[in-house]
Amino acid sequence: MSSSLFTPASTVLDSVLFRDAFGTARMRDVFSDQSLIARYIEVEVALAGAEARVGVIPADAAEAIARGSRLDRVDFDHLRHETDIVGYPILPLVHQMVAMCGEAGRYVHWGATTQDIMDTANVLQVRAGLAVVEEDIRALRGILAQLAHKHRDTPMAGRTHLQQALPVTFGYKVAIWLAMFDRHQERLAELRKRVLVVQFAGAAGTLASLGDKGFQVQAALADELGLAVPATTWHVARDGFAEAVNLLALITGSLGKIALDIMIMASTEFGEVYEPFVKGRGASSTMPQKRNPISSELMLAASKAVRQHAGLMVDAMVQDFERATGPWHAEWLALPESFILTAGALHQAKFALGGLIVDEARMGQNLAISRGLIVAEAVMMGLAPAMGRQQAHDVVYDACRTVNEQGGTLAEALAALPAVTQHFDRSAIDRLTDPANYLGLAPQMVDRALAASAACDR
């Protein structure tokens, strides 16, 4: 067996076996070591350019820094070794950049502090990560809209507390899923103005090392990177990153809800939906008949993991004085993993829902399993105009008891009661007890959800 396939990995996020189940190559690339160091260099180069623009450093020095600072010239082994000693990668990287840039190297990292560079690089990663998430959400919303439209009028049992309650349509259920992701897309757009801001403030956040040019450099750096300027330093004000990860927790939480619905509906006793068929997917090593809902299981697992990271990010907001002693480091764990897990969950959702197999006949069979009792409320309200609400309640109550104790259907039990037949013939009774005739405004809610979703993109 070739060992070249395997690289050292100890988590599902970088495991050769599991990484594509829990993440995507695209999002892993956004948060890879190479991309992160490239972002550090990008920020340092942009800082030099910004400082040259406002006259803090010579223009030719900024140009030399831009030319000389290249990722392919970084000695990663030496960077790793020095980072392990220093505790942060920026000083070791600056050492290498200084050497890369010759005489201009003296101006690298001018007036900055380690956290300025790391935070701003993380903002650039978050920006790229959010773009991937938004693209996936838009695709998923399109899938859900098509599914809701197709099954607008497909009747099925609505369930509360895992018991059949009233008839709904499958399109109505999907429309609820769609509306969640419409809101997530709105949330994503709203948080960008709060999260995508530059971090540049110097050692204690006061820009003291740049004298009266501090704000000008900060604004120029933000402009170079396409970021906004914050009102104050946010070295220890971590609500932005916490908000981003908590949005990911909301997104994966919604995916977890969808996954749970699919898993239960795919169980043998329900048999109403199935994930797309791919030969061998979801197979059991000992039970050939099994068809496990693998994508839904992965979505649910991701939702639990990102929820934990969301809590960690909120906890990391509690930081001491002007620079934290440890909570900042917790973000290094939570931020990349949350984005990768979210991308993986969205990927699984697009697969599962994009090819979802819906068994309308089985939905109808399950809807009929109560022998009409699921529409007892509808029958009561249908009888009430003819005999009064209380008598209608008592008549239907007695008919339900007959069905439960003696078998048969609610229609048959009602047809045996003179109090009913004096007002309704058998065809009218059948219409009253047909679940498809008691869907409320479920189809119209699908229409409203689809219209609202379409408006989100205008």
CATH homologous superfamily for the domain 24-107: Fumarase/aspartase (N-terminal domain) (1.10.275.10)
Q: Is the dihedral of CA 307, 311, 317, 320 positive or negative?
A: negative
pLDDT (tens place) for every residue of the chain, 458 residues total: 444 555 677 888 887 888 888 899 999 999 999 999 999 999 999 999 999 999 999 999 999 999 999 999 999 999 999 999 998 899 999 999 999 999 999 999 999 999 999 999 999 999 999 999 999 999 999 999 999 999 999 999 999 898 888 899 999 999 999 999 999 999 999 999 999 999 999 888 888 988 899 999 999 999 999 999 999 999 999 999 999 999 999 999 999 999 999 999 999 999 999 998 776 555 444 544 557 889 999 999 999 999 999 999 999 999 888 888 888 889 999 999 999 999 999 999 999 999 999 999 999 999 989 888 888 888 888 889 988 889 989 988 889 899 889 989 888 898 988 888 888 889 988 888 888 888 899 999 999 999 999 998 87
d(Cα 347, Cα 244) in Å, to the nearest integer?
19
CA 329 to chain centre: 24
Burial class (CB in 10 A: 0-12, 13-18, 19+), 226: exposed
In 3D, which of 123, 127, 110, 103 has the Cα closest to residue 44? 110
The span from the CA of 121 to the CA of 329, in Å, is 15
- The CATH number assigned to the domain with range 368-437 reads 1.10.40.30
pTM of the predicted model as reported, rounded to 2 decimal places: 0.91
CATH number of 114-136+166-208+225-366: 1.20.200.10
Query: Where do the structural domains in the chain lie, given as residue ranges?
Result: 24-107, 114-136+166-208+225-366, 368-437
Report the alpha-carbon distance of residue 344 to residue 337 in Å, rounded: 10
Known catalytic residues are 161, 284
